A and B are shown apart, each in its own frame.
Chain A
């Protein structure tokens, strides 16, 4: 692997100008600038196999590679780089950007009128990841959430919009992010449960909205809402999936549905028959990991070797970032959708390493496995996915504008890359638990090419919010008897 041997502490690229001096009068900005020697060639040079056969896919891939290399080379005069050739996380600029996105949005945002709950979640989660205190938004989130709530259960995109699983998911997580009893109590668990039951289909799938599409997001959102709010899994008698023997629950058939979404490539699609896609892979794995312990359920329902192979193929060099599908371009948001799959895969293979029956561990320990190049992903995030201007925020790729969606998921991906998640049978007080639980430790190794102060907060591997926010809300509802 091409790695930088020099530990050059210079933050500026060394211009190799010897040949040119006094020979040709070249303006300084013309000609290629050399990449910083602090950056491994892997991230500044085209891949070793060059292909001639040109198609649209290759054209846009080459364009994207070039725009990324330009940023990865760490030779911009306007930016400061550390000794590994990595710029700082622009924490303050991103905080400012996210706060602005929470304010009043101008008229062109009207196309986001049905996804305002997402803006709440993306911005608040982004702010929480950046270490900002989100509780100051509590009253505003409560008021906003109430205006989106329907008396028949659930939350829509806004006043007068039907309850939707995606918007309900976003509102529930936004309430978790601001925390506090008053925020939690906005949720009417009883009507929410009844509404969830009305979306459950006899074949196991879940509609996103009454009369709406059934896809893997429905499975994931259901698992998160039920898990977070400690809702009963039984179905109400008026649910289309209700069976009088009481054998069907909200979770019945979800894992089988997810299995039907694995494709020949190994990846996972949004619904059976469709193409494998990174965002749906995360929904699938996180859903399974909520339904049961990952090491029990994931290998049971999915072809793990093919899945791992496909997941691994999503990282490209020199870009370092992840793509969502075979032969598609890298995009900052997959830092989360695909980066977030790895802790779940890790757990699926390792189980709870401290105390598990050996036969449930089909593989040798993968404790030391680096599933993907953390260095590559972190370089992509810090070099390519940050807006460098006053605007702040994070983005898909250098040629796109920052937005709330990418800010949230790029930062979530950064978090995944900076921490190590594992399962344990012991809680903080060394008490033995019946079921394994997640534990997190900051990752300190050679992949830490960023400065220590650029570490963001840790997010829960399945609920995707800072873990304390998750435990607070879950604990609150777990201790509540009945509805």
Chain B
């Protein structure tokens, strides 16, 4: 290696100055770390660029001095007295840093990733510093929070063991402290979310729920039709499992059921649990119904809601009947009818609502003109609404005061007054005339005639109004109602006019209702037999 010309120390200083130009301000935390590393490791950057042998002897000397400095300081390397003095002289002259950042720190400055998966080291120094402050804040909050939990646990221990005398130190936590911790957790949740994207659920944040250990879903590997639960639902039902297992019936569990229902109203278990809570806490049923009304309007197709209402109705009815509270009974009938009108306006054929209405009538004995009028208004609005027709039939023919209990729906009931049968025949005919192809009215008419043991022939004239020239060929045969045609066919069967009946059935099969040809032909076979 060729010896290099000696350079004066002044020149050396100048050289080292030019070698370490003022670096531009770092753009990221990683850059800042790198800069700091080079600042504490003189000539290191040059060495990386050109290698140890590429350095000038002076540079090499500086680099070596810097390298040995920490080792000598820590007495890992011992020098003779003379060398030691010479070494420190050089160190002083070059103002070498006694402490320096380690190589490892520079190469693996892993700051981790933020909630978006970005390398934290790529943050700007300002953002990085802000993040560090937040982390410090979170650590402090966590310390305070665990102190709160610990203090409350100790207070709880003292409560369960009132005899213990070291109680002075474990005073009850005050409501202010609880509130303070609630706020603290809010802040912690926000910080955790911002720093790490970790969700801290509503219940985990709430000191009121600290005594409950949630039971998370026990979903086996490869479970079928598993649902990717949103976080809030997953948390709520894990608390639900826990409080149900503990058979807790309390205001907070009532609120929990409300929360779960708002997320998934089809969760039958939570509804049954809610009813138990309502019973256990002896809550006001009208209040519960009031709440339920809103839920019902938001979940029109739901099944569970109507069973809950049914349970409330039975429970409340038993209460007010026991107190012989006639006013409450009237009020209940009124408010229920009012709500049913409201919800049926939204969905006029809702099966669950009408079923509930039938049980309401039975329970409260609403075999009243008002109920009949309310039903009638649905038929007036849409004469084809079969649910309303059905309810009318139920009101008229199941009224215990004017029917035989247990009488089958398609059988004659001698307890039904003749005037009732007359009135209903008239009603059915009046409505059938409006829209003769409306089967609801015809089914009703048949049902009424059966209840009254009236022959079908008693409505023969009426049915004949919708039918003309049957079997007399195209052009002369006019049918405004296929149901009238069937009705007449049955009239002919009743009268023993088999051929005429067969003709009518044939015309149904061929022309007026051919999709049911198989059935009409079967009926013809039966007549012939």
A residues sitting closer than 8 Å to B (CB atoms) are 1-2, 42, 48-49, 51, 53, 55-58, 101-107, 109-116, 119-120, 123, 137, 139-141, 143-144, 146-147, 156-162, 164, 209-213, 259, 262-266, 269-271, 273-277, 303, 306, 308-310, 312-313, 315-317, 320, 325-328, 363-364, 366, 369-373, 376
A106 vs B227: C-alpha distance in the bound complex, in angstroms? 6
B residues sitting closer than 8 Å to A (CB atoms) are 215, 217-230, 233, 237, 240-241, 244-245, 263-269, 272, 275-276, 307, 310-311, 348-349, 351, 354-355, 358-359, 362, 381-387, 389-391, 393-394, 397-398, 408-411, 434-440, 443-444, 446-447, 450-451, 479-482, 509-519, 521-522, 525-526, 529
A141 contacts B384, C-beta separation under 8 Å: no
B359 contacts A275, C-beta separation under 8 Å: no
Q: Which residue of B lies closest to A118 (CB)?
A: B225
Residues of A within 8 A of B220 (CB): 143-144, 146-147
Residues of A within 8 A of B382 (CB): 55-57
Residues of B within 8 A of A2 (CB): 514
A115 vs B264: C-alpha distance in the bound complex, in angstroms? 11
Say how far A127's CB is from chain B's closest CB, in angstroms.
Answer: 12
Q: Which residue of B lies closest to A370 (CB)?
A: B518
For this complex, 9 residue pairs linking A to B, each with C-beta atoms less than 8 Å apart, are A105-B227, A106-B228, A143-B221, A157-B268, A209-B268, A211-B275, A212-B307, A308-B519, A325-B386
B269 contacts A266, C-beta separation under 8 Å: no
A111 vs B260: C-alpha distance in the bound complex, in angstroms? 11
B447 contacts A274, C-beta separation under 8 Å: no
A160 contacts B354, C-beta separation under 8 Å: no
A312 vs B390: C-alpha distance in the bound complex, in angstroms? 19
Task: Indicate which residue in A106, A111, A140 contacts B266 across the interface (CB closer than 8 Å).
Answer: A111
A275 contacts B351, C-beta separation under 8 Å: yes
Given contacts A109-B227, A147-B218, contact A55 B516 (CB under 8 A): no
A213 contacts B307, C-beta separation under 8 Å: yes
Residues of B within 8 A of A328 (CB): 349, 386
Given contacts A212-B307, A327-B439, contact A114 B264 (CB under 8 A): yes
A102 vs B227: C-alpha distance in the bound complex, in angstroms? 10
A270 contacts B351, C-beta separation under 8 Å: yes
A212 vs B222: C-alpha distance in the bound complex, in angstroms? 31
Q: Is the interface of A mostly helix, strand, loop or mixed?
A: loop
Q: Is the interface of B mostly helix, strand, loop or mixed?
A: helix
Residues of B within 8 A of A42 (CB): 514-515
A312 vs B439: C-alpha distance in the bound complex, in angstroms? 13
Say how far B405's CB is from chain A's closest CB, in angstroms.
Answer: 11
Q: Which residue of A lies closest to B241 (CB)?
A: A160
A22 vs B251: C-alpha distance in the bound complex, in angstroms? 79
Say how far B383's CB is from chain A's closest CB, in angstroms.
Answer: 6
A111 contacts B516, C-beta separation under 8 Å: no
B354 contacts A275, C-beta separation under 8 Å: yes
| Most central of A56, A113, A259 by chain B CB within 10 Å | A113
Given contacts A51-B437, A273-B359, contact A112 B266 (CB under 8 A): yes
Task: Indicate which residue in B266, B410, B509 contacts A114 across the interface (CB closer than 8 Å).
Answer: B266
Q: Which residue of B lies closest to A264 (CB)?
A: B447
A462 vs B511: C-alpha distance in the bound complex, in angstroms? 35
Task: Indicate which residue in B226, B387, B518, B525 contacts A105 across the interface (CB closer than 8 Å).
Answer: B226
Residues of B within 8 A of A266 (CB): 410
Given contacts A49-B479, A209-B272, A259-B408, contact A102 B224 (CB under 8 A): yes
Say how far B429's CB is from chain A's closest CB, in angstroms.
Answer: 15
Say how far A165's CB is from chain B's closest CB, in angstroms.
Answer: 11
Residues of B within 8 A of A106 (CB): 227-228
A120 contacts B386, C-beta separation under 8 Å: no
Given contacts A120-B224, A147-B223, A317-B514, contact A277 B351 (CB under 8 A): yes
B394 contacts A107, C-beta separation under 8 Å: no
Say how far B295's CB is from chain A's closest CB, in angstroms.
Answer: 14
Residues of B within 8 A of A265 (CB): 390, 443, 447
